[in-house]
Amino acid sequence: MKGHTPYYINVGGQLMDLSEPQVMGILNVTPDSFYENSRQQSEAQIAERTEQIVTEGASIIDIGAYSSRPGAADVTAEEEMKRLSAALRIVRRTAPEAVISVDTFRAQVARQCVEEYGVHIINDISGGELDAEMYRTVAELNVPYILTHMLGNPQNMQEKAEYRNITKEVIAHLGQRMERLHEMGVCDVILDPGFGFAKTLDHNYDLMAHLQELKVLQAPLLVGVSRKSMVYRLLGCTPQEALAGTVALHTIALLKGASILRVHDVKAAAEAVCIVREMQKHTDDGTHQPKQMI
């Protein structure tokens, strides 16, 4: 897609081209995720959701076993790994060729998922702040790492939402940590500005309005806004009613350079990617502009 930098990441020995935006489908194996329809816990539900994600056009499945919604209950590492082990076995059986990401901030959980289940990507909402071993572990595992901007933890992060310039501070925060990751040997770093993590409604929209400025960090951007409070609180609806607003934000994010959309609704996101791609073909080089009427 024109306007997107040709980034590539190594997933299991294969290069994934992020110059064409990718869709990451969410598979939650938690009882308390903020969006009720995203919770899958039985074997049949997990298999069905896996098939849906793949069929509707996602290239990555992101599995999470620890809810990161504000004020979420803590979950032990043992319980998190128990949930992930069960889900990963089902996903591997249902979609053996799928690229799998695991959403965890714990280094030992990340290691087990990669070494025992062949997980391809680690998605750390804490940006390495909740486990001092995470950067070293990811470097040793040699897998792509999603570096997220968040302050504090899911239980207290909203208390830390104070910024003078949200975009500049997010860029500085991510830039410093990306440099450390590169120094430690992590080659593939994907940046997530962390919409909804330690940010107010105004912070989220200010950050989205300036999303293209994160390109200065020269890394692919992941945007996760699917059915979040920045949609449903603004529109005065519920997460279940927030699809239209979510797609609007996905379209804006794509136009501002997002490489990956992390979503609940894969088909709608894939359609947004398709439409933005077609629009950019008709606007980037000027050769497809309609002739003026005389």
| DSSP tag of 292 | P
Active site positions, annotated: 228, 262
| DSSP tag of 221 | B
Structure tokens at 8: 């590539």
Dihedral in degrees, nearest 10, Cα atoms 235, 160, 207, 19: -110
Q: Which of 11, 28, 18, 38 is nearest to 265 (CA)?
A: 38
Dihedral in degrees, nearest 10, Cα atoms 212, 17, 58, 241: 0
The answer to whether 58 and 99 are in contact (CB under 8 A) is no
Angle at 279 between CA 274 and CA 284, to 5 degrees: 125
User: Which single residue is written with the structure tokens 């925060």?
Assistant: 173
Which runs of E-coded beta strand occur in 65-120?
99-103
Structure tokens at 75: 């979950």
For 185, the 3-state DSSP assignment is coil
Q: Which of 272, 196, 208 is nearest to 232 (CA)?
A: 196
